[in-house]
Amino acid sequence: MGEQIEPIAGPQVWRGPDMAVREDEWRIAMSASEIAELDAAVEAVAARDIDIIDIRKEDFPLPILSKTLEKLRSDVLSGRGFGVLGGVPVDRYDIHRSAIAYFGIGSHFGEAVSQNAKGHALGHVRNLGFDYGRSLTRGYQTDARLPYHTDASDVVGLLCLQTGKSGGLSSIVSSGALFNEVRARRPDLLKVLMAPFYRDRRDEIPAGKNPWYVIPVFNPYEGRLLTSYVRSTVMKAQRFDEAPRLTEAQIEAMDFLDSLAEDSALHLRMVFNPGDIQFLNNHFIVHSRTEYEEDPQNPRHLLRLWLACPEGPALPAPYWDFQDPTESGRPNGYLMPGVELSAPLAPEDGGPGSSDTRL
């Protein structure tokens, strides 16, 4: 095998069945006093008529709840890489107040960044009736099962407003556990996954960049394992003559990685309840969603944030070819030249260049 590749260790490495029986460690229910505090912060912002996109931590004081959020934030950024906060009273909030509450809580985690070419900092995960098989459809606009992937931010958050009729389970996997499994079973493929893969930007092209970028799936850097994986963008990059043709080893490596993520011995599935917020560290976690059945009278609806966190891990050079940094030096999502951030209160098409199959 040549130079020995060491396994990954630490709290970011875990197995789904072990986490399933430790749910009380990662699922936190807000207390009555914390919910009351959230109500007060929401009403204060609403009374001041602050635009959602302009909400900052200082606009959203949470003296009690902030201690809970700080523990959750530490777990997400430096520990297991995920956590769930329950109890946002979305049943009595309208969409505007739900968005204020979510953006305000998110401001205690980090800075909201753009999720698509239109500069949406507040996303809507909602079935718009599009065909997932078409190249111009993003997966979050459908009710289809989504492949395991990472998003283009330090942290992704999802607030559940309404569940579907059935299905729609969140499924997450420790990328460190995946790394160790590939290392143990197929060390030859681990080396492939640690080598560069060409990715399609899907026309979301920062100034001065090529319409593709190059980054490995697994990126050990400064003592941490960082993972970046969206298979659909790898496959779609083959449309560029400049991109080398995918090798049999690369296809086999992605097939093997996908099969491991689907293994119930590794992944953790969880139910979203209205008022739950799930936070995931994209550097340490790959995530998916099961197919779901829609209730036409009460369609499944989640709000999404991509957050740049100053305490996020140091990132190697390929990440900065992919994205530009925020002022705090973190990945800025898909902020395109000349586009301003916005926080729409209803689902919208992500616009030109946002038509891949990311969640």
pLDDT reading at 234 higher than 60? yes
Give the pLDDT confidence score for residue 295 in this predicted structure: 67
Fold entry, domain 16-322:
Double-stranded beta-helix (3.60.130)
Angle formed by the axes of helices 95-107 and 32-48, nearest 10°? 110
Long-range contacts of 218-224 (CB under 8 A, 24+ apart): 218/175, 218/179, 218/190, 218/193, 218/194, 219/194, 219/316, 219/318, 219/319, 220/194, 221/313, 221/314, 221/315, 221/316, 222/313, 222/314, 224/283, 224/313, 224/314
User: Among 69, 122, 118, which residue's Cα sits nearest to residue 99?
Assistant: 122
Average pLDDT (258-274) is: 96
**pLDDT for res 163:** 82
Quick one: pLDDT at residue 188?
97
* Of 325, 322, 307, 285, nearest in space to 156 by CA: 307
Looking at residue 237, the DSSP 8-state letter turns out to be: G
- Reported as a single tens digit per residue, the pLDDT across 35-86 is 999 999 999 999 999 999 999 999 999 999 999 999 999 999 999 999 999 9
Task: Calculate the average pLDDT of the chain.
Answer: 90
Band (pLDDT 50/70/90 cuts) for residue 298 is confident
DSSP 8-state secondary structure symbol assigned to residue 43: H
Q: Please report the pLDDT score of residue 245 as a whole number.
A: 98
For residue range 78-91, what is the model confidence (pLDDT) as tens digits?
999 999 999 999 99
Contacts of 324 (CB under 8 A, 6+ apart): 206, 332, 335
How many Å is the maximal CA-CA distance in the chain? 64
Q: Is the pLDDT of residue 230 over 80?
A: yes
- Spatial distance between the Cα atoms of 95 and 92, rounded to a whole number of angstroms: 10
Lowest mean pLDDT segment, chosen from 107-111, 250-254, 290-294: 290-294
221 three-class SS: strand
- Percent of the chain having pLDDT more than 90? 79
| The pLDDT value given to residue 142 | 45
Query: Which strand (E) or helix (H) includes residue 28?
Result: strand 27-29
The pLDDT value recorded for residue 166 is 47
Place of tokens 């492939």: 192
Identify whether the C-beta of residue 199 lies closer than 8 Å to the C-beta of residue 237: yes
pLDDT per position as a tens digit, 143-177: 555 899 999 999 999 999 988 654 568 999 999 99
Average pLDDT over residues 336-358: 69
Q: Among 137-146, 191-200, 235-244, where is mean pLDDT lowest?
A: 137-146
DSSP code per residue over 90-126: TTTS-HHHHHHHHHHHHHTT-EE-B-STT-BSSEEEE
Whether the predicted pLDDT of 26 surpasses 50: yes
Residues 88-125: pLDDT tens digits? 999 999 999 999 999 999 999 999 999 998 999 999 98
% of residues, the chain, pLDDT over 70: 88
- Written as one letter, the residue type at 282 is N
* Confidence at residue 203, expressed as pLDDT on a 0 to 100 scale: 84
Contact between 285 and 175 under an 8 Å Cβ cutoff? The reply is yes
Q: What is the pTM of this model?
A: 0.91
